[in-house]
Structure 1
Amino acid sequence: MHCNQLRSSHMMSDRLVSALRLTCGTGLFATMATCAALLAGTSPAAHAAPQAAHTAVNPARAALPKLELTDDILFQVMASEIGLQRGLPGNAFRTYIALARETRDPRFAQRATEIAFTARAVDQALEGARLWSEIDPAAAAPRQLIQSLLISTGQWDEVEPVLAAQLNRAPPAQRGAAILLLQRTLSRSPDTAGALGVLERLTVKDRQLPETHLALATARAANKDNAGALAELDRALALRPHYEPAALMAADLRAQENPEAAIASLRAYVQTAPASIDARLALARLYLASERVDEAQQQFEALRARAPNDARVALALGLIQLQQKRYREAEAELQRYLKLAQASKMDADTAYQGLSQAAEEQRDYKAALAWIERIDDERLATATQVKRAQLLGKLQRLDEAQAIFKELGEETANIDDPERRAAMQASLRQAEVGMLLEAGAIDRARARLSALLEAEPNQPDYLYELAMVEERAQRYDVMETLLNRFITLRPDDRQGYNALGYSLADRNTRLQEALQLLEKATQLAPEDPYIMDSLGWVKYRLGDLQTAADLLQRAYDKSPQAEIAAHLGEVLWQLGRRDDAKRTWDKARRLDDESGILKRTLERHGVVLPE
């Protein structure tokens, strides 16, 4: 169907009547608005493209052809938009591309590009953007989108000359900043090796600039070449000894392998640049991570002395103190930040989150709720509402809490992307069930999941989550039935084998069956620390203490969790390594002093850890 082909008015009227019948009800007004928007030079908001495609949503009027809105064009636009509403973006894309080629109107090419981008059809999005740019060479948006798509798909031969031209347009005084911007642009690609290669080639004559080496270091780190990244950072600091970003990144990389080396390098930098606030903060964090509290405190005092009215310092100190569970000090710093931030109109929401967390961890749930309700950043709206519901649950205001989750669940229906919608619904459901279990409302949690299962009896996620509720209720026969159904439906999912195997091991029953289940889980995910923990636990139950200790140590090294540490300490105790066991349990307490399994373990052995 082509818009320049003549149609009889009778035939077109019949087709338009058919199209209108299709749109009656929910889609008519949206579809008519789309037609009007396209011919007015704007884009339909319901199918918005990325920012790059919106920077020039009104193509230059001088470039637009004189186009009559014929019945044929109107029909094709309406049919395409109806197809979009019914989940058929491919047909809509092809129609708009054909219209753009026939009419040479950039608005149709733009719409085709938006549809393809929203559908994550990269090849079609490139086709649309290229046609858009061909029709309207003055428009910046399609060129930006083409570049972004080429980078994201690693089409380096085509995009590298474009990036070289952009870099060469930078004035000499701004070339270093342009190289750092280039690296950030390239970092959007999953092909980190290809991105590094482009950066190396385009900056081959810029090695006298410290920014070049910082950019190369960042690219090498993204490519998992920490040694190469550190070598580049050393070159950057040789060229500019007080180059703070390079010093901070070098310390961060060294800390992953050798915290003491990181401390030494950052301490040396602070001596040469004593006014660096960020370097002192980073050094204080490293000291705390290494449990060198006195030296960390010295840095805190130096920061307060050097920047008593710097809001950033107050916020950073407050968050660090919160991380260390020094709640009074954290609250004082965060309150001080709020006063300083108010004068300079800085964001307060991070401090509100910190103050809410401090109150919650001190079990002052009313105060925590009051702080969280002061957050007004729309970007944090969902997370804030979830936290409100969780705090209401801790206050036993369960009807209010569940009402929030219900409202949030209804809002997810507006998410266009099916995968994202399903992930959000799962996160909200799990958060609601977790809130109910923490509140001791097992019957409510069971009712919530049972209602979902009644509607979808073979939905594996509901089966698994209900099994965890029944495990909490110690209804183990029901739990095992649900988990076996889950395993039947998802035989390649490690969760079912791990959950059932661990439950049997923890109850010290049917240990050979537990071992088989956990060996199967290990085959499916050999590096999963939680499965290592479960397998270590069943080995302990079977009396293979050294193998258990080795597995649990590996699990803890991969994921320092209080429950894993409690298990590891138990095995070390049975091996006669009681001092090691106490040190391990002390680490567990620092991670989570409310851990039920840790408390039960300590009580069983009559161990009282020093404060």
Structure 2
Amino acid sequence: MTQTVAKNGGTIRNIGALTSPAHCPQGLPGLQAAEAGAIVSALHRTGNCMGGKAWRCWAGLILLGLASMAEASVQLTGEDLYYLLSAEFATQKHDPEIAIPAWKHSVDQLPTAAVLAAASKAAAQLGDLSQALRWAKRWHELAPEDSESARFEAGLLLADGQEPAAIDLLQATLARFPEDERVSSELAELLAQHGRFGDAERLLHTVIQNHPDSAAAQLTLGRLALLQKHPRRAAEAFAKALQLRPDWEEAVVLYAESLRQQGSSLAALQTVQDFCAAHPSATDARAYLAKLYLNLGGQTQAYRVLQQLSLLRPDEPKIWDQLLLLAIGESDWTGAQQALEHLRELSPHSPLNSYYQGRIAEARKDWPKAREAYEKLAGTPLADEAQLRMAQTYYAQGHKNQALLELQKLQARHPDDAQIPLLRAQLLQEEAEYGMAAQILDQALEQHPRDPALWYARGIVAEQQKDYAGMDKAMRIVIDLRPDDAQAYNFLGYSLLERHKQLPEAGAYLEKAIQIAPEDPNIQDSIGWYYHLQGDQKKALYYLQKAHAQMGDEPELLNHLGRVLWQMGQQKEARALWQRGLKKHPDSRQLQEALLHP
């Protein structure tokens, strides 16, 4: 590492390089061209040159920017410039050990509003919140007429947990700058976060009245509506924001989310698809589109969107993580391996590399290679997850006892983790050992009596044991703990349908489920079957066809859909549907029975 000794004896390392004194801007206050050139040359000797034309452009812009930090009455010396350049470049390189001391020196020598603003923003960027806040306060004191200084200080106060102080500051700033829409929007969101929705909405309506073309105020109004769980109102506000700013990516994502929360996932999907088609470089919208596809069961479509997104954001590991897992799900081994190699380039020492190597090998049923990869994760933060995966590889090979032993060891280390007994119970269920599964879940519920996932699993086991009273009790507890759990309502309702008991009660449960999750294909199948049993074949067909569009040729769904078609006089179509399904699922008793006894 190259080091350069500054005038005061301090060490400044990795400052960067300039190519020639001739590229230093002329006429900086108090700084002669020769002096500036000497500093530039000294910096050049530190090495680590970023190269040629790009460096010269960067250096020129930085020098011009630094010149603006000095007020006309302030003499910018060579040493001042040296430290400002050091601070700026170290900030660009995200090196707080150099940047923060260099900014401190610059603030001490040039305590102007511009320097304090730059120093505060740099400290915040580098994660030194307390130092950023101190400089922001001084910046605001020096520039009270600048609303940005107050807004930046308020943001830092909020990040520091000083919400009341942030609200007070923004209110005082709004009184001083009543026409500043940014202050109004930030204050409104902050008031809403503290439950003062009425104050926030009144403030925004005043802004909109005075500034009818304010897209920012409409966006904030929509955010408030979402916070209050009023998606319809939110959608109206976001639509107005988009009318004012059609290219606003954040607004289109929020508008789509408000549609989804109203139960219009397909409309949300169409909205974002159209926006992405019109804006090829939109990244946030594409990330949301991939999430929407996954929520709707469209794994293949989500995979394609993430492939596009990886080209737009090649240096974002999170995207490659998702892309790799979807590539495994799509059995695209070439794509999975390419994604893994890219992740290795981004983070060569990350334990995730071994984890994903194990996931690829596991998906390809190369069990020894999978376990070899997972064993490398011992002593890392992923060790427990790796042991869970190893247990599943043993189970997949038929080594049930070894799999359960791995899980028992893991649970001994983490007795308070509710996820481990869930997995143990799942493995036992698959072996039809319902009694042991129930025992493990009952023990876990003694420790976690308000865990809805444990109660849900307990309800499933009770159903498998034909303990319908126990199932009913467990699912009702899930609903009590999670009133919007659509799957619990669906499970209760469909269980009653399967037993041909209490159809009105079953219908009430299923209507609640479809209201909460209208695009869930499993719930669409359930309520479609309910309408069939009630004799309403038209409604039954509507829901079953929607489910079929998402779930494809799943045997139980094909059985239901075919029987509805048969009842509607479309016997030929029903038989063709069952025969097609049986080719894909030759062991399906439901489809065999449907063909024999329609």
TM-score (ref. length: structure 2): 0.54
Hey, what does 1:375 align to over in structure 2?
A: 342
C-alpha distance 181-193 of structure 1, shift in aligned 2 (>3 A):
closer
Distance 1:539 1:51 in 2: 63
* 1:296-307 matched pairs, under 5 angstroms: none
Hey, what does 1:60 align to over in structure 2?
A: 104
- Whether the 8 Å CA contact 1:369–1:388 is kept in 2: the answer is no
Hey, what does 1:220 align to over in structure 2?
A: 224
Structure 1 SS opposite 2:432 = coil
C-alpha distance 443-477 of structure 1, shift in aligned 2 (>3 A):
same
Q: How far is 1:394 from its partner?
A: 1.6
C-alpha distance 586-367 of structure 1, shift in aligned 2 (>3 A):
farther
Hey, what does 2:360 align to over in structure 1?
A: 391
Q: How far is 1:485 from its partner?
A: 1.2
- Among candidates 437, 443, 450, match of residue 485 of structure 1: 443
- Whether the 8 Å CA contact 2:219–2:238 is kept in 1: the answer is no
Distance 1:481 1:261 in 2: 42
Hey, what does 1:292 align to over in structure 2?
A: none
C-alpha distance 132-330 of structure 1, shift in aligned 2 (>3 A):
closer
Hey, what does 1:474 align to over in structure 2?
A: 432
* 1:435-514 matched pairs, under 5 angstroms: 442-455=400-413, 460-507=418-465, 509-514=466-471
- Whether the 8 Å CA contact 1:549–1:568 is kept in 2: the answer is yes
Q: How far is 1:568 from its partner?
A: 4.3
- Whether the 8 Å CA contact 1:572–1:578 is kept in 2: the answer is yes
1:548 aligns with 2:548: no
- Whether the 8 Å CA contact 1:214–1:236 is kept in 2: the answer is yes
Unaligned runs of 5+ in 2: 1-93, 109-119, 144-148, 561-577, 579-587
CA displacement 1:233-285 (0-9 Å, x = unmatched): 566577x485756677556645654859979xxxxxxxxxxxxxxxxx95473
Q: How far is 1:211 from its partner?
A: 3.1
Shifted more, 558-567 versus 350-359: the winner is 350-359
Distance 1:132 1:244 in 2: 30
C-alpha distance 53-162 of structure 1, shift in aligned 2 (>3 A):
farther
1:522 aligns with 2:448: no
C-alpha distance 184-529 of structure 1, shift in aligned 2 (>3 A):
same
Q: How far is 1:160 from its partner?
A: 1.8
Q: How far is 1:482 from its partner?
A: 0.9
- Whether the 8 Å CA contact 2:525–2:557 is kept in 1: the answer is yes
Q: How far is 1:544 from its partner?
A: 1.8
- Whether the 8 Å CA contact 2:462–2:468 is kept in 1: the answer is yes
Q: How far is 1:548 from its partner?
A: 1.9
Q: How far is 1:196 from its partner?
A: 3.0
1:411 aligns with 2:380: yes
Distance 2:266 2:293 in 1: 26
- Whether the 8 Å CA contact 2:527–2:543 is kept in 1: the answer is yes
Distance 1:316 1:186 in 2: 28
- Among candidates 533, 549, 562, match of residue 490 of structure 2: 533
1:153 aligns with 2:110: no
CA displacement 1:40-98 (0-9 Å, x = unmatched): xxxxxxxxxx999998566735999xxxxxxxxxxxxxxxxxxxxxxxxxxxxxxxxxx
- Paired positions, count: 444
Distance 1:63 1:402 in 2: 55
Q: How far is 1:470 from its partner?
A: 0.9
- Whether the 8 Å CA contact 1:195–1:219 is kept in 2: the answer is no
- Whether the 8 Å CA contact 2:529–2:540 is kept in 1: the answer is yes
- Among candidates 208, 211, 214, match of residue 210 of structure 1: 214
CA displacement 1:284-315 (0-9 Å, x = unmatched): 737xxxxxxxxxxxx99xx5xx89xx5669x9
Cα RMSD (Å): 6.0
Counterpart residue type for residue 398 of structure 1 = W
- Whether the 8 Å CA contact 1:186–1:195 is kept in 2: the answer is no
Distance 2:406 2:349 in 1: 26
C-alpha distance 226-145 of structure 1, shift in aligned 2 (>3 A):
closer
Distance 1:137 1:526 in 2: 50
Unaligned runs of 5+ in 1: 1-49, 65-109, 119-124, 264-280, 287-298, 413-423
Distance 1:496 1:222 in 2: 30
TM-score (ref. length: structure 1): 0.53
Distance 1:345 1:461 in 2: 34
C-alpha distance 587-349 of structure 1, shift in aligned 2 (>3 A):
farther
Q: How far is 1:536 from its partner?
A: 2.2
* 1:341-380 matched pairs, under 5 angstroms: 341=311, 360-364=328-332, 366-376=333-343, 377-378=346-347
